[in-house]
Structure 1
Amino acid sequence: MDVSVWNPEQAAAAARRVVGANDYLTLATADAEGTPWATPVWFAADGLMQFIWVSRMTRRHSHNIEERPEVALAIFDSTTPVGEAEAVYVQALAGQVDDADLGAALAVFGEKSLARGIREWVEADVTGDAPHRLYVARATEVFVLDPNEQRVRI
């Protein structure tokens, strides 16, 4: 039987490292009938429990989230040599950021955007007649791969 080589603190540190080092996550959604769809999205994280991105409301994953908010996320560096990969796996509930949380979510997204040399998104970019909305996935479970390729719950 394989056993994790990491304690919870090591697992959490590894997860923070992976999340902080990557700009894209793979978002897995499903429509009302259960047909799966996966797409990469540029994201900003608020710790290990909230993952924020901007998408057009007309995109397939956005429609899927409206129909079925249960999503899965995978965050990893696709350039890592085989056998050396670290990955974070997240089960979450996703949806558009509500008005009460919009300022805080925009601050998290804006901080990363500016750090990466991207323009800062403002409320007018994701409300009203704007084609985009700010989305959030709130984690229900978070896992990281340890050096033995065992999923360790955070």
Structure 2
Amino acid sequence: MDPFEPDDITAPASRHNVHVTRRADLTDVRNWAEDELYAAVERADAEDAVVVIDYGRALLYLADQADVTFVPPRRLGLSGEPGLRVRTPAVYDPETDAVSGLDVDERLVTPEFDVLIPAFDWETQDEDSIPIEPEYRERPSGSPHTTGG
């Protein structure tokens, strides 16, 4: 697992999610119309859920945030793609705004997925809310550019 990838797939620093505060946040999400995705996020917000995009199956799921778990790729050169384990997924149909349960207790979404997180009322941020940026240190003025030898 990437050492900079947070354990929580829904953390703002994770590269697998989009915190949706407005419709424009969805412009870079592929395979669905912006209106369909926004409707899914609004529905998820009403149900205190998140939207899981399963690109391989071309499905949208609504799931409780606690039921979504990141599965890191296997280490040591073994095959394996990252995945997303979704317990009790419900399929969301953007054309009818209907939600239907699946006959499975759990679905592994792999290899491509994203999580859309309703954040319409996201006003307060804590230290976990701020995306991680690389830290750069400036060289003190007057210091040499190379080490002496």
Coarse TM-score class (shorter-chain normalised): under 0.3
Larger Rg: 2
**TM-score, length-scaled by structure 2:** 0.25
- Structure with more of its chain in strand, by fraction: 1
- Structure with more of its chain in helix, by fraction: 1
